[in-house]
Structure 1
Amino acid sequence: MEKSKVYFTDLRALPGTSLPQKLQKLIKKAGIGEIDFEKKMVAIKIHFGEPGNLSFLRPNYAKAVADVIKELGGRPFLTDCNTLYVGRRKDALEHLSAAYENGFNILSTGCHILIGDGLKGTDEVYVSVEGAEMVKEAKIGKAIMDADVFISLSHFKGHELTGFGGCLKNIGMGCGSRAGKMEQHNSGKPSVHTESCVGCQVCSKNCAQGAISFPEKKALIDHNLCVGCGRCLGVCNFDAIYNENASAVKELNMKMAEYSKAVVNGRDSFHINLVMDVSPYCDCHPENDVPILPDIGMFASFDPVALDQACADACNAQSPMPGSLLDEHLHDHSLCDHHDHFTNTTPESEWQTCLAHAQKIGLGSREYELIQI
């Protein structure tokens, strides 16, 4: 079987060449022009960033991609779906305000912004997934499925449950409606090590379901209300919250792969990962920590599985950034070294099963040829 082609360019920008220009050259060399864009509506899936977080992709990169699509005759729009958790992107009005605050608008990006699952996260399409084991029908934002062509533009960084957030995370979780996100997350419900809980209540402030109370000044999670989104796990600074279901991350990863296939199956798609500002946690956080790894570069491919694998391999070939959360963990003598930067950053996380399942259901291949531009 022929290896998938993944194209790469570093982040050196000598005088006379900007990074957006390098991105445009990359995606053209990677073959984006092979897609028939003429008069077609093109969804560019991007994360607009939670206000307070400064590691999300700048609008300049979105404009670079949108301009190439327009040059090829397409009609691009930027899109994302609403979130499960409390924050600034929980409905379309808040979501658009957050996007504008972070610099995304028609002037800065050259295209419109549409929230994929509508005003309240309920505008969805049910999509059957061929070969799926976990999901009967994926619940995807309607505007995303209505598009003729799908492009993912992802910030590759760490994630507190899935190890890293890259192409498949951006597609599978990002394109799920609110019900779709709940379906992907509901395999595991977190619980509390009460001896580690200090009663700071940060977890409850980040719980959109009101599932966390504090009897006797210790957190208690009501599993009848909890949807398993893992937000509380990510914001706890005292490692007091853990996932009770050991298989939950694997099941989440498998569902995320199946949701990704639902989005791209049967239509033209193309995928871009930018490995820079590799923060330990998702851009859904209203803050970002020191990057765990140095900036690496920009990657593009028609194969989303090969793309994420190439980025993970490139990251694991780097040395940790001094003073980062990863560096801190590696200097902890109690750490069990997993020889993987993402798992060492967040030991509860795991990413291999997502790519393995994605390959199994025919979404792509983990075998790739890296072509440097």
Structure 2
Amino acid sequence: MKNEILILPGDGIGPEVINEAVKVIKLLQKNKLINSVIRYAKIGGSAIETLGLPLPNETLNAAKSARAIILGAVGGNKWDKIKEFNKRPEYGLLKLRKSLNFFANLRNTIFYSQILSSPIKSEILSNVNIMIVRELSQGIYFGKPRGIYYNEYGLRYGYNTSCYDEKAIRRIGIIAFELAKKRKKKLCSVDKANVIEVTMLWREIITELSNEYPDVKLSHLYIDNAALQLILTPKQFDVIVTGNMFGDILSDEAANLTGSIGMLPSASINSKGQCLFEPCHGSAPDIANKGIANPIATILSVSMMLHYSLQKPLLSKYLNLAINNVLNKGIRTADINSTGKNLVSTKIMGDVIIEEFKKIIKI
């Protein structure tokens, strides 16, 4: 594994938010606070346009040798008409996750009291800090058979397969229990075990695993109730563990707690210690190239990289503090601006965070 940070700008607003995140990395490089080398590659729609594939071999090979990967986003309206799934931009990301065996996705939802753009009352949200642990390697996104065909009545018929093996469930369960041990010792497992067999197995194995973690209080919720409880009483949750599709849904819903999905970072990890860091938001083609995207989730993803990949927890803490200080000053991008004041562009938001970060680390 090389001491490289692979940058995958991707599509839509991806290159814009990535630019601001790279500023942080270059600042740390310049001041010799990290010694990693930056390398760029293409993925998604941009890779299709220039190299003909959503995940070219050169990108995959670079990813396999990198210590950490930072991704902007993939996809956009331009490629929505492509019918073959393995030729669409999103396939590039799924193949990357599968090829490098990124089996666990960590999505940390933190409520920033300075931001008033969430429709949920601030007293409900105060002190919310939820870690959603999403299994990434199996489930309905990868299960086979899958496809669309015409049935005997001439009607189009679509089908997907959701499947999990015991090893995958136990592996993600261990990650979740270990995180819960270091936090508030509470873990909620989300499934649909009342009607779906694959999640019956999920609940059975997570329950068995809880015997190895007697100091962690385990609870279970069905996905429909969990989605409701996440909005009504989010403070009841600390760590949530769930499958691929349910984790996708819940973590995007959790964006409502912060007021914007532009505030949510994520980290995907494999058993070799490699990590893929990315904002939870998509490519947002409707606002691409307008300079109004929120780069904070991507910068927070750099913070997660400092903590989990580069073993620089203090730098991670200081970068988080810089973001918090900027929010305290009322500086906002459009998605988190409720007053119409101190509205800044993507670039300016990145610049002010950098300046605040420099003050804190005294460079």
Q: TM-score by structure 1 length?
A: 0.29
More helix by share: 2
Q: TM-score by structure 2 length?
A: 0.29
